[in-house]
Structure 1
Amino acid sequence: MSRPVDALDSAFPVAASIALDLIRRPEVSAQWSNPSALPHLSVGALACHLGRQAVRAAELLPTPADLPTLESADSHYERAAWVTEGTPAADAVAAGSDEADAAHGPADLHTRSADALTQVTDLLSRGAALDVVPIPWQGWSLRRADFLLTRQLEIVVHSDDLAVSVGVPTPVFPAEVFDPVRDLLVRLAVRRHGQSALISALSRSERAGHISAFLTPGRALDRLRFAEVAVSPAPGYRYFGDVEWIKPERGLGGKRRRPPARIGSAACGWSGGAEVSARRRGRSPARGRRRRPAADGRSWSPGR
């Protein structure tokens, strides 16, 4: 039965093709057994997870669905348990399908991913993909466009993970691929953190906070073991360059602690004694004298 072609029907094969090009890079094969940028996951397993998005699509697009259908891709991410569970345990990752697939090596992944891309392209181009697609591991179904959007998000996000893991540039996706993913991530971030947090993160470096679409505010704070973080600066504290200065723990005695985590691109670091005192007085920690605010609105311009 024929059906109208959705914009994502043509965009998804483009996304999967870009992912396949990345998977085939020699840097991925050369570092196959190395740790990836994701906790407990090898480069090979991450590549297999990325390649599986096309494989899943090839398997499920022609499969009839007998599960309840959610109203949107947004609802899929709001209901999925993994979204707020945080990083999986090392033993769970080691026993998972990604590492099992990686054991077969890069050539096997290249073949499986290329075959899946051919099947998906054929299914979507000739109208053989069904309008409702089951997601059996979740217990629900999605409309075809919403299903493809979830796979497209996986491709865009994990392509960045894989590129960072092996030290190559992250692929640039065309607008028809990237824009729907960007819009979905923004909606999820707003739903999870609120409009104000998103606006601050995108436009105000001096009060930017965590806006991950897949992490609740409570879990974001849990990951900063020693930090007491607020969306806006704590009273009396300043910002220096790109660093978000946060309240030191009690009992540090003015000593600098090794940063256990990062906030954005800057390491979380604590300084006590004269440096904190200088910040409280609105003076430069570097030289202890008052500095004029930087043009971009930060409290301090970078030191010379």
Structure 2
Amino acid sequence: MIRESYLAVAGVAAELLAHPAVADCWDKPSALAGYTVSGLAGHLAGQVNVVAKALDGPVPDTEPITALEHLSQARWLDAEQDGEVHRGIRAGGVQYAQVGARTLAEQTADVLERLRRELPEQPARRVVQFPWGPPALLLDDLLLNRMMELVVHLDDLAVSVEVPTPEVPAAATDAVIGLLAAVAARRHGPVSVIRALTRAERAPGSIAAF
């Protein structure tokens, strides 16, 4: 289910990258602080490219951790927006975007076609890691992690270029909301999350996952 959901969301992202509004706003600031539209588009495209790179990478020899553990340990989670970690993430988006709006969209569509062929064939317990190294994850957990990035940044990019945020399958949003809620519960405590979802009069000011 995660593989199908990831591919569906990646397809929506590829379509948004090819939208004329993205090219028209390419050099403008985006709705996400620190990113231009082009840099944000590159970052979105990276969530497709990184999966292909993970498939091409070495098979890790360590036990995989879960998607929740990986996200909870992410260096960027509490890093300063102007710090080294976020500067590096933004630079990665800029690098992808250097080819221009049209070529970025075409390249992303090409990688997606490869993933549509290869992901269904991968073993259920395939272990992978991101190109930058450990920890190891099950392929489906890595896909959940990247699907979260896609869903979040689809909204960022759509808002940035003033088009409606594309709809994605309910199975995808259910999985992403579940992951984000679990991270939020670790950060703020489960009671705060439960109150925010059920008791507005006792809800905290924020239960943001990040």
What TM-score results when the alignment is normalised by the length of structure 1?
0.63
The reply on whether 1:137 has 2:132 as its aligned counterpart is yes
CA shift at 1:79, angstroms?
1.3
- The offset of 1:20, in angstroms, is 0.8
Asked if 1:35 corresponds to 2:2, the answer is no
Shift of 1:88: 3.3
Q: Does 1:87 align with 2:118?
A: no
Deviates more, 1:127-136 or 1:171-180: 127-136
Q: Of 74, 77, 95, which residue of structure 1 is paired with 2:71?
A: 77
Partner of 1:256: none
Residue 101 of structure 1 corresponds to 96
8 Å CA contact 1:192, 1:213 repeated in 2 = yes
Indicate yes or no: 2:110 matched with 1:110: no
Q: For residue 227 of structure 1, what is the aligned residue in structure 2?
A: none
Q: Which among 185, 191, 196 is matched to residue 191 of structure 2?
A: 196
- Find 2:175's aligned residue among 161, 176, 180: 180
Identity between Structure 1 and Structure 2 (%): 37
1:182-224 deviation per Cα after TM superposition (whole angstroms, max 9, x unaligned): 100111111110122212322344443111112xxxxxxxxxx
Q: Quick one: which amino acid aligns to residue 19 of structure 1?
A: A
**How many residues get paired?**
208
Q: Could you tell me which of 122, 135, 143 is aligned with 1:127?
A: 122
**One-letter code aligned to 1:12:** Y
CA distance in 2, matches of 1:8, 1:62: 20
- The one-letter code sitting in structure 2 at the alignment partner of 1:140 is P
- 1:130, CA displacement in angstroms? 7.3
The 1:165/1:95 distance shift into structure 2, 3 A limit, reads closer
Task: Mark the CA change 1:125 to 1:66 in structure 2 (over 3 Å): closer, same or farther.
Answer: closer
Q: Does the 8 Å contact 1:64/1:132 carry over to 2?
A: no
Distance 2:189 2:8 in 1: 32
The residue matched to 2:71 in structure 1 has which SS? Answer: helix
Q: Give the aligned partner of residue 211 of structure 1.
A: 207
Report the Cα distance in structure 1 between the residues aligned to 2:142 and 2:167, rounded to whole angstroms: 22
Q: Which has the higher helix share?
A: 2
| 1:63 Cα offset (Å) | 2.7
* CA displacement, residues 143-176 of structure 1 (integer Å, 9 cap, x when unaligned): 0110110010010000011111111111111122
Matches within 5 A, 1:144-293: 144-208=139-203, 209-214=205-210
Name the residue aligned to 1:21.
15
Q: Which runs of 5 or more residues in structure 1 are unaligned?
A: 1-6, 215-304
Tell me by how many angstroms 1:94 deviates. Answer: 9.5
- 2: distance between equivalents of 1:81 and 1:60? 19
Residues 59 and 136 of structure 1, relative CA distance in 2, 3 Å threshold: closer
Moved more, 43-52 or 197-206: 197-206
Unaligned segments of structure 2, at least 5 residues: none
How far did 1:71 drift? 2.6
